Amino acid sequence: MTVAAALKAATETATITGDELFALGDIGPAELIDGRIIPMNPTQNLHAYIVFEIGRRLGNFNAARRLGWVIGAESGVYTSRQPDTVRAMDIAFVSRRRLPMLERGFLQVAPELVVEVVSPTDRWSDLQAKRAEYFAIGVDVVWVIEPERRSVLVYRGGLAPEALGEGDILRGEGLLAGLEIPLAELFATE
């Protein structure tokens, strides 16, 4: 099956697996939801800056300690199988305990931390669905960063989110304890 045929089939009626999606190569930004490819818009500058800045700070913290893997660039994680759902995460941290070595393909284990940066085109209901899927597979913490509001919501399991504003510090937990990101620095884009 050609890439064009697979894309047409996966967005119309037929479904594909996560392995088939991976085999298609670079098809542009997309997620696989219940076996169907859902195209995504390219990110805009503010979103990309925030993703890079969080990834850089998380990566620097991790590099000094070699705790696990910091993964970005809309990397995929399986949140369900048959039909497959592969969600694109802005950033994730997965420990060496959960993933001793980085493998090809999409993540098949739950990261400890997932970071989602809200884009102007994101629908809140879609973000809530993704967050629920992350917790269902065993993610410990989800940071939802809202650049337009200059705020962060920290979700932990079924608890109410912790709301942080520009004057607060975003702190790592568990293996990431000691990581501190002042939100005033993160949102200093002017």
Nearest to 177 by CA among 95, 98, 108, 109: 95
- The ranges of the chain with pLDDT < 50 are 10
Hey, what CATH topology would domain 45-186 get?
A: tt1808, chain A (3.90.1570)
pLDDT value of position 6: 53
- Determine the Cα–Cα distance for residues 162 and 152; give it in Å rounded to an integer: 8
pLDDT value of position 10: 47
- Tokens encoding 176: 């990431």
- Determine the Cα–Cα distance for residues 139 and 77; give it in Å rounded to an integer: 11
pLDDT value of position 39: 85
pLDDT value of position 121: 80
Contact (Cβ atoms closer than 8 angstroms) between residue 163 and residue 153: yes
Q: Provide the whole-model pTM.
A: 0.84
How far is CA 183 from its chain centroid? Answer: 19
The bridge status of strand 141-146 relative to strand 113-117 is parallel
pLDDT value of position 45: 82
Domain residue limits, the chain: 3-39, 45-186
